[in-house]
Amino acid sequence: MVKTGNGFSDLAAGLLYLLPSLLLFGVFLFYPMIRTIYLSFFYTDPQGNPIAFIGLENFTYLLQSEAFLNSAKATGLFVLYTVPAGILLSLFLALIANLKLKGIGIFRTLFSSTMGMSVAASSIIWMFMYNPSIGVFNKLLNLIGFEGHQWLLDPNTALLSVALSTIWMNTGFAFLILLGGLQNIDEQLYESARISGAGSFYQLRRITLPMLSPTLFFITTVSLINAFQTFGQIDILTKGGPVQSTNVIVYSIYQDAFVNYNAGSASAQAVLLFFCILAVTVLQFRLGEKKVHYQ
């Protein structure tokens, strides 16, 4: 047997290569995470410094707080509104853009264009669209004889309105990933299906969706995590209102930490949100990955 190298020197070389990543993750990910968990067990002063250890009191208070439960409900509804609809819309657009038609590149550019816009710019556009006086939605309602609506000021429509704008903002990324997945499917599978007389719907159900399942699984996981972490458009469009109807947990964390200066409660909410996202992600891997077809 020939000895290929010293184990210790190999380990040292590996750690040296990993050092830049470890430093970045340590400073910007692991330290803030550990600090957040630490602060969640303390009363804090307005500067965020711990002043008294209180154990799980921040958590028990949150779980009995009507405001936090409303935030959790708003977060759940927001995820429910945005993730399935966003994936279905992106898949529909990707299927259209995957057709071999003249000029289809123009539509591919249009469908993916939302990726190039910041959340702030997109939110301003949607703010004008929802404007009760000059917004396009109320103009359309007026054209067909209905009165205008306060889309962002009505608690019944505010969350749906923010969800609609979020679907539009996220469509570009999901569309590009799904289109890439579609273009990687072997064309011979479709030729064999056509020779056998299979219709378009059969090809979609038996070839496209199974072969695209790893990409769909990835998009679903990323979309779920992003939906739980949505902040920018809520801050610009509604600021958590009206009547807390769009006050999702991430926005509630921001308000507690930087408006109310209660870092202990904000940290406890962040910890609860982390475990919520972790549970959903694990569940997604346990249930969703069974239906993924890898080549």
Q: What's the pLDDT score for residue 112?
A: 87
What is the torsion angle, in degrees rounded to the nearest 10, for the CA atoms of residue 170, residue 89, residue 251 and residue 66?
-170
pLDDT digits (tens, 9 = 90+) for 174-210: 999 999 999 999 889 899 988 988 888 899 999 999 9
- In this prediction, residue 2 has a pLDDT band, given cuts at 50, 70 and 90, of very low
Is residue 183 packed enough to be buried (19+ CB in 10 Å), middle (13-18) or exposed (0-12)?
A: exposed
pTM over 0.95: no
Q: In the predicted model, what is the mean pLDDT of residues 61-71?
A: 94
Distances (CA, A) of 275 to 47, 216, 279: 26, 24, 6
Query: Please, what is the average pLDDT of the chain?
Result: 90
Rounded CA-CA distance 239/232 in Å is: 9
Strand partners, 42: 53
- Are 149 and 202 a contacting pair, CB within 8 Å? no
Token pair for 56: 């799980």
pLDDT digits (tens, 9 = 90+) for 104-132: 888 888 888 888 889 999 999 999 999 99
